[in-house]
């Protein structure tokens, strides 16, 4: 499923699965300003993107990046508890009889335990991956593993999290945000599955750039030159807040490698999730 929003000169695209993103890339035509500059093709872009070809990037999207997953596992991977509660029900077989029912001839005169999942509040966590080209792969892994650890902590505190990764830029007087859902609230964290889209620069520079190249409003000379200016701080919160309810049911993690700036960004959101995130980190 794909949802598209436009608020003035702000354009937002919500892709609810990887297949939705792939369908968009496969069906939408490449903008004319990007025809000779696309990061989707060309081996000369291998050093910048981190993958030798778009096909190689697609394989990483399908199967994950084991090297990155191993590094993430050291800080993120931990057995997640399934929130269960016990309730007692009367049935024909159980561990203790209900004497009054048994004397009355009721066939369902035994008590048994029924385990049920607890109803948990669901929130959305948006992890920005708009890192500029000067940020090293190791710095990206460290920053994203920090945010992912907080997401794990939120889930262990009783919340259930829809996990999104997104790319946000401004250029030619317009703003663009592309959101991709990586994990549904009922799913557990799969570090291998998340390793490529969250931490590998190729996902931003091949897949997210491919989305921008196929967006009509972004088909301008300026944007095709540098793919826009990554948004940060208040500008990023303002952009996300135009289509997401930050504080009510959403939290945003910035593409920030500096710990102090990262925590300051969370505090700016002034929401219970940000406070919980800091407590559980």
Q: Supply the pLDDT for residue 101.
A: 73
CB 142 within 8 A of CB 257: yes
**Comparing 109-113, 202-206, 215-219, 230-234, which segment has the lowest mean pLDDT?**
109-113
Share of the chain above pLDDT 90, in %: 23
Confidence tier at 197 by pLDDT (50, 70, 90): very high
Q: How much is the pTM?
A: 0.80
Exposed/middle/buried for 257, CB within 10 Å: 0-12, 13-18, 19+? middle
User: Which tens digit of pLDDT belongs to each residue from 69-128?
Assistant: 888 887 664 434 444 456 667 777 776 777 777 677 778 777 777 765 556 788 899 999
Q: Supply the pLDDT for residue 279.
A: 63
Residue 272, number of CB atoms within 10 A of its CB: 13
Give the residue-averaged pLDDT of 217-225: 87
Confidence tier at 280 by pLDDT (50, 70, 90): low
Q: Supply the pLDDT for residue 39.
A: 57
Pairing of strands 250-253, 122-128: parallel
Q: Supply the pLDDT for residue 142.
A: 85
**Comparing 13-22, 44-53, 129-138, 237-246, which segment has the lowest mean pLDDT?**
44-53
CA–CA distance from 241 to each of 67, 145, 179 (Å)?
34, 24, 13
User: Which tens digit of pLDDT belongs to each residue from 256-271?
Assistant: 888 888 888 888 887 7
CA–CA distance from 172 to each of 146, 150, 235 (Å)?
33, 35, 16
Q: Supply the pLDDT for residue 12.
A: 93
SS3 state at 159: coil
Of the two residues 14 and 140, the one the predictor is more confident about is: 14
User: Which tens digit of pLDDT belongs to each residue from 3-55?
Assistant: 998 888 899 999 999 999 999 999 999 888 887 766 555 554 677 778 888 88
Q: Tell whether the model's pLDDT for residue 135 goes beyond 90.
A: no
CB 243 within 8 A of CB 12: yes
Q: Supply the pLDDT for residue 38.
A: 64
Q: Return mean pLDDT, the chain.
A: 82
């Amino acid at each position: 499923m794909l949802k598209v929003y436009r608020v003035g000169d702000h354009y937002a695209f919500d892709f609810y699965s990887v297949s939705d993103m792939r369908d968009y890339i496969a069906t939408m035509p490449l903008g004319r300003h990007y025809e000779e500059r696309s990061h989707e093709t060309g081996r000369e872009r291998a050093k910048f993107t981190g993958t030798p070809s778009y096909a190689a990037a697609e394989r990483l999207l399908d199967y994950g990046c084991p090297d990155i997953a191993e590094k993430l596992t050291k800080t993120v991977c931990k057995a997640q508890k399934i929130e269960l509660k016990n309730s007692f029900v009367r049935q024909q077989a159980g561990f203790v009889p209900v004497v009054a029912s048994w004397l009355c001839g009721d066939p369902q005169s035994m008590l048994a335990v029924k385990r049920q999942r607890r109803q948990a509040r669901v929130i959305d966590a948006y992890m920005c991956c708009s890192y500029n080209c000067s940020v090293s792969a190791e710095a990206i892994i460290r920053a994203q593993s920090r945010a992912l650890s907080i997401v794990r902590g939120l889930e262990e505190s009783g919340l259930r999290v829809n996990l999104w990764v997104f790319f946000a830029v401004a250029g030619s007087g317009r703003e663009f945000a592309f959101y991709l859902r990586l994990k549904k609230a009922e799913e557990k964290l799969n570090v291998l599955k998340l390793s490529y889209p969250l931490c590998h620069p190729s996902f931003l520079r091949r897949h997210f750039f491919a989305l921008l190249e196929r967006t009509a409003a972004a088909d301008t000379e300026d944007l095709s030159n540098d793919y826009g200016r990554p948004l940060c701080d208040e500008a990023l919160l303002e952009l996300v807040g135009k289509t997401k309810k930050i504080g009510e049911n959403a939290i945003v993690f910035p593409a920030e490698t500096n710990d102090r700036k990262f925590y300051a960004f969370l505090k700016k959101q002034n929401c219970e999730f940000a406070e919980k995130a800091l407590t559980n980190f």
